Amino acid sequence: MRGGAVTGANFDLTGRVALVTGASRGIGRALAEGLAAHGADILAVGRDEVTLDPVCEAVAAQGRTAIPLAADVSDIAAIDELFKRIQSLGMSPDILVNNAGIEEVCPSAEVMPDLWDRIVDTNLKGAFFVAQGFARPLLAAGRGGSIVNLGSLTSAVGVPTAAPYTASKSGLMGMTRALSSEWAGAGIRVNALGPGYFRTELTEVFYRDEDWQKAMLGKIPMRRFGRLEDLVGATVFLASDAAAYVTGQILYVDGGYLASI
C-alpha cells in the first residue's frame, strides 16, 4: 500500500485557530470544546458575549485560548464588524465551523415572510457571508483552510412544518458544493456535517412528545438518538489534515437513518 500512515498527527489541530458560530450552547459548544481538545484555539461567536463564558472557560481549562465574540450572523453589518474585530486581535482563523442556526416549526400554509426571512437569513445568508469573511484573508495571503457547514437531515429529506428550515439547509448544501469548487484551487476545503436527531435547545420542541420519540427511534437503525460527542470526531476529521483531499462533501452522522429509508 502506497502513501503515508494515518496517525494522530493527521488529526492534530495544534497551531490552528477555529472560528465557531453559535458556540454558546448545544452542538456549537460541543464542537468548540472538541476542536480545542485536539489543539485548536477558539474564536467563539454568539449573539451575547456573556453566554459564551462557559464554553470559553471549558476551552481555557484544556490549555487553549478562547475569545468570546458577540455577533448576530443574520445581520451583515454585524458580520463585517466581527471580522474587523478578529483582524484587530491579530488573528486569522484557518478553520470555520458555520454552526449558527435557528428553527421554528410552522404549518407551511401559515408561514409569513418575517418567519421565512428570520430562518433563511441566519441559516443560509448568514452562513455564506461568514464563510466569505473567513475566506477573504486566506485568499489574499495564499493560505489554505477548512470550512465545516452544519447541515441537517433536512438537507436530504423533507420534514413537515419545517419548510423554511428545510430550504435553508438544502441551500446550504448547494452553497457548500459551489464554494468547494471555487476555492479548492486556493487550498480552502468546504464540507458539511449532517447531524441526525440530537436533543438540543433548538430541537427540544420535538422531544417533548414521547410518541414522536418512540416513532423516531423505530426509524434509526442504531436505536438511539445522537449524543453531542458523536459529532466531534467527524468535525475534527473534516477540519484536519486527515481530510486533506476531501471537499464538497456532506458527512451525515445519523445512526444510519438516511441509509434505511
Outline where DSSP puts E strands in the chain.
17-21, 41-46, 66-70, 95-98, 145-150, 188-195, 250-253
Between 163-183 and 113-120, two packed helices, what is the crossing angle to 10 degrees?
A: 30
Is residue 144 within 8 Å of residue 187, measured between CB atoms? yes
What is each CA distance from 56 to 31, 52, 102, 130, 236, in whole angstroms?
A: 12, 6, 22, 21, 18
CA distance linking residue 75 with residue 71, whole number of Å: 8
Q: Please identify which residue in the block is written with the cell numbers 456573556.
A: 50
The strand pair at 66-70 and 250-253 is best described as unpaired
Three cell numbers at 122? 441566519
Q: What is the distance between the alpha carbons of residues 41 and 36, in angstroms, rounded to a whole number? A: 6
Of 165, 197, 252, 257, the active-site residue reads: 165
- Please say if 207 is a catalytic residue: no
Active site residues: 165
